[in-house]
Amino acid sequence: MRAGRTLGIETSCDETSVAVLDGDGRVEVNLLSSQVAAHAPFGGVVPELASREHLRALPVLAADALRRAGGPPELVAVTCGPGLIGALLVGVRFASAFAWGRRLPLVAVDHLEGHLASPFLNLEGGPASEMPEPVLALVASGGHSSWYLLQDSRAERCCRTRDDAAGEAFDKVAQSLGLPYPGGPVVDRLARHGDPEAVKLPRPRLKDNPLDFSFSGLKSATIRHIRTAGLKGNGESEPSREVHDLLASFELAVVDHLLQPLEELAARHRPRLLTASGGVAANTLLRRRLERAGSELGVEVLLPPRALTTDNAAMIARAGQLAFLRGERHDPRRLDARASRKWQPPGMCRAS
């Protein structure tokens, strides 16, 4: 069975995105309208503003995506949670009306399920790759940091963060230096010119579950160092050597921490593939270190193209196709958005 051409819609946070994939998961169109500029004056995402921006951008992007697609869609996939409730509702209502109006099947997608599907997509015009189970999959974004075991079309969470997400730590450290939001890409760029051994930062370890993550102590230690050393990242010229060194040391500590559970998880689950997704999976050092870990463990590594690491509708469309092939359908007259992580639609992420 094939899923058919799929329209994907993502509005869970501050990016409006619409994509069309053909029945084999080829990305025909993946459009994105970022709200970064709208939220920048407030120093973070303003939920009400996000909903309004989605309302404005979504119909325009959808019309454009449908015009550029290889043909009419046969399936609609939409993010229904977790995320900002007002923002999610814009996408869910639009997708439901579209599916109902055209008598198309509708599938609700969990945002994390979308991230988990992203490494299997490419932007060179090829079909989506098959998933050789079992897979060990890292999701590291502004809201999540977890390793999952993908097996029997299900995602079982192996470990998680107890406090901040990895992306959040990047954002807060960048913010305390006066660098723009989101901090991850800026830190990535500046860390390339720094010495990662220059500043000794803590490597957290939780006594009750050594596989779990904790980023808040590392974040606070880094911010303390910034304050005591009087570091600034937003001067007229390039930041100082000390800023580059601190950011390289911080980035190394985050990456070490994210990869620390891998040896144990690989021994336990004998994966055939390692993947990473979410905004932090764009990080240069994380990508390099994952490739190295894969070759040391003798396991293949599959990383999404950088453009598909942050929120996008192509990954939602792909996760929707996989859910459709598992038999999932949702009633467009009843589908609701859910803000919470506790609720999961039936599907891969049931265990979270």
Which DSSP letter does residue 71 get?
S
Q: How far is the CB of 310 from ligand KG4 (least distance, A)?
A: 3
Place of tokens 């060990």: 136
Q: Give whichever of 105 and 183 is closer to ligand KG4, judged by the CB atom.
A: 183
User: Residue 184's binding partner, choosing from ligand KG4, Zn ion, none, with beta-carbon cut-off 5 to 8 A by kind?
Assistant: ligand KG4
Q: How far is the CB of 279 from Zn ion (least distance, A)?
A: 7
Place of tokens 């990662």: 196
Q: How far is the CB of 276 from ligand KG4 (least distance, A)?
A: 11
Q: Give whichever of 3 and 282 is closer to ligand KG4, judged by the CB atom.
A: 282
Closest by CA to 73, choosing from 7, 1, 140, 158, is 7
Q: How far is the CB of 280 from ligand KG4 (least distance, A)?
A: 4
Q: Give whichever of 96 and 141 is closer to Zn ion, judged by the CB atom.
A: 141
Q: Report strand pairing: 145-151 vs 135-140.
A: antiparallel
Q: How far is the CB of 186 from ligand KG4 (least distance, A)?
A: 8
Q: Give whichever of 150 and 243 is closer to Zn ion, judged by the CB atom.
A: 150
> Residue 340 CB: number of other CB atoms within 10 A?
10
| The 300-302 sheet, strands edge to edge | 154-160, 145-151, 135-140, 273-277, 300-302
The residues of the shown chain that bind Zn ion, judged by CB under 5 A, are 141, 311
Residue 142, CA distances (Å) to 122, 268, 279, 306 in order: 23, 28, 7, 15
User: Residue 194's binding partner, choosing from Zn ion, ligand KG4, none, with beta-carbon cut-off 5 to 8 A by kind?
Assistant: none
The residues of the shown chain that bind ligand KG4, judged by CB under 6 A, are 141-143, 167, 170-171, 182-185, 188, 278-280, 282-283, 310-311
Q: Give whichever of 89 and 308 is closer to ligand KG4, judged by the CB atom.
A: 308
Which DSSP letter does residue 128 get?
P
